Amino acid sequence: MTALGELNTRFGLEDTLRFEVGIGGFVRGVVGTPTSSGHVYLHGGHVTHFQPAGQKPVLFMSSLSHFAPGKPIRGGVPICLPWFGPLSGQPDAPAHGFARLHAWDVESTEKLSDGVRITLRLHATPSTNPFWSTEFQARFILTFTSTLTMDLQIKNLSNTTLRFEEALHTYLSVGDVKQVRVTGLEGVRYFSKVEGGAFAGSPDPITISGETDRIYLDTQSTVKVIDPSMNRTIVVGKRGSNTTVVWNPWVNKSKAMPDFGDDEWPGMICVETCNNTQDYAVTLNPGQTHSMVATVGVEG
């Protein structure tokens, strides 16, 4: 039996979940239920599609995304782990860690009354990364119903303290980012990578009028992306997360990214569920597990 055939025999769910060869030859799980449809690639444990019944797709995908070994997928929900951005003191380390570059295993699947649950797993191996040799186990539990629920669980399997950063780098599809209003982060202090400093949060909803790359600090709030041009509101909830990133590359940054279309920036905004920066990294004692959950749904 082929590896794909074995996946479908062990984990496929009649009429609701199958595994197939997707873009770039990578295997993906394809979800189709009365409540939603979705795709998750084993490469990076990467969700690339989520569409509740009666709605347009919720996740943005770049038309120029790489689907190649050793490269991350651009769009959907990349998993940033075990560091966010560059690794301090290690210029050769991959940006945002190794989790989005490696194949995850399917641990289990389950048919629910209103959807599907898929659990993926990643272990420390000699190939995970030479820059982070700590023994760990990561589980990514995906529940596709009318809402997408993503539960990233990290367990410390070593005999020493484990410290890591993490993010579910969620790309949301919008009609025109210049018209979007983002609520839920009013008055929240943030660090802006574009402006280069820390700022008090505005009492008004966030609007996008240029390159935006902000880490909102000490927040557990639900965020709403109000999109008048698509006549809907995307709701991003979370648990076990103390920072939220809001990002749009705008014009010049888009042109500088080879895996992102020059004119794609108006159709997306990232609202990322995170524990990033050293001040907000997660610390686990031996045997402990940390869970960070992001939910994505639609109103309107």
Query: Cα–Cα distance between 297 and 223 in angstroms, integer?
Result: 11
Taking CA 162 as the corner, what is the angle to CA 159 and CA 167, rounded to the nearest 5 degrees?
150
Query: First and final CA of the chain: distance in angstroms?
Result: 45
Element (H, E) at 254: helix 250-256
> What are residue 36's DSSP bridge partners?
52
- Asked if 75 and 61 count as a contact pair (C-beta separation under 8 A), the reply is yes
Residue 167, φ and ψ in degrees, nearest 5: -160, 145
Query: Cα–Cα distance between 125 and 108 in angstroms, integer?
Result: 20
- Asked if 67 and 39 count as a contact pair (C-beta separation under 8 A), the reply is no
Query: Cα–Cα distance between 59 and 138 in angstroms, integer?
Result: 23
Q: Which residue from 18, 20, 23 is spatially nearest to 37, judged by alpha carbons?
A: 18
> Catalytic: which of 39, 96, 169, 264?
169
Residue 66 annotated as catalytic: no
- Quick one: DSSP state of residue 252? H
> Catalytic: which of 166, 211, 264, 272?
272
- Nearest-10 Cα torsion for 90, 278, 148, 24: -10
Q: Which residue from 287, 260, 198 is spatially nearest to 64, judged by alpha carbons?
A: 260
Query: Cα–Cα distance between 242 and 80 in angstroms, integer?
Result: 15
Residue 123 annotated as catalytic: no
Q: Could you give the residue numbers annotated as active site?
A: 169, 272
